[in-house]
Amino acid sequence: MSVDHSQNIIEVKNVSFSYGEKDVLKNITLNVHKGDYLGIVGPNGGGKTTLVKIMLGLLKPTSGKIFLFGQDIQKFSYWSKVGYIPQKAVNFDTNFPITVKEVVNMGRIGKRGLFHSLTDSDHAIVKKSLEQVDMWDLRNKIIGDLSGGQQQRVFIAKALAGQPEVIFLDEPTIGVDIKTQEEFYGLLKKLNQELHLTLILVSHDIDVITHETTEMACINQTLIYDSNPKDFIKNDGLKKLYGAQVRLILHNH
């Protein structure tokens, strides 16, 4: 899919954020285009997750503006266009007796409203969402009985069931093995290229971001880099982000 760089779906304009007197973000300006697969990377405490929460309206910036689909976030109401898979998505009580399909049903309930029964059309969307992540055959399994990688796929299906145009993923591969991570990133690439979903992936893993994403933003309080991930190393991005003493160790993703 070719990215239309003339169409911004998220605009971050001169955003700063502070906790009391502690500056977390300073004057961030960043655009996300329709069809982007944007990787946001930076050191722990550099403000990555804070920026995402501001873009989702979960935090209010100290200064600056956020626009979603051309509308000021303070007035934005079409939240069904936005999917979010938080860092702790798979940390839940594994003894809670809920099936895979019931979890994904929540994605439709979130779109239709809590007091609306799901229709045949809703159930068809849930089925399609599970098929897109290769989890339909396990729809009746208790989610706590699944592996970490399978649970990740279920929560992506839950987001897909809401039929979003953009999905945020905050450190989605924490705690899973390398093979599962590779399968997961293959799934994300498929969602971006075949379903034309805009993806925003937050990670501390520069190797993953430079190999998997189409756009890259490096955050360490300020915006250090915002361009093609392939050019990041060539342009001394590591030194700018972490300092002169850092070096990159490749994982062969």
4-19 vs 63-68, strand pairing mode: antiparallel
Q: Dihedral through CA 91, CA 203, CA 28, CA 193, nearest 10?
A: -100
pLDDT given for residue 220 in this prediction: 92
**Domains of the chain and any CATH numbers:** 1-69+166-188+198-253 (3.40.50.300), 91-164 (no CATH)
Closest CA to 21 of 60, 54, 56, 62: 62
End-to-end CA distance of the chain: give it in Å, rounded.
22
Q: Which amino acid is at 174?
A: I
Q: Along the chain (253 residues), what's the average pLDDT of each consecutive run of 10 residues?
A: 74 95 94 94 90 95 96 93 78 75 89 74 95 95 89 92 94 80 90 93 87 92 87 65 54 50
Q: Which two tokens stand for residue 66?
A: 């956020």
Amino acid identity at 141: K
pTM, two decimals, is 0.86
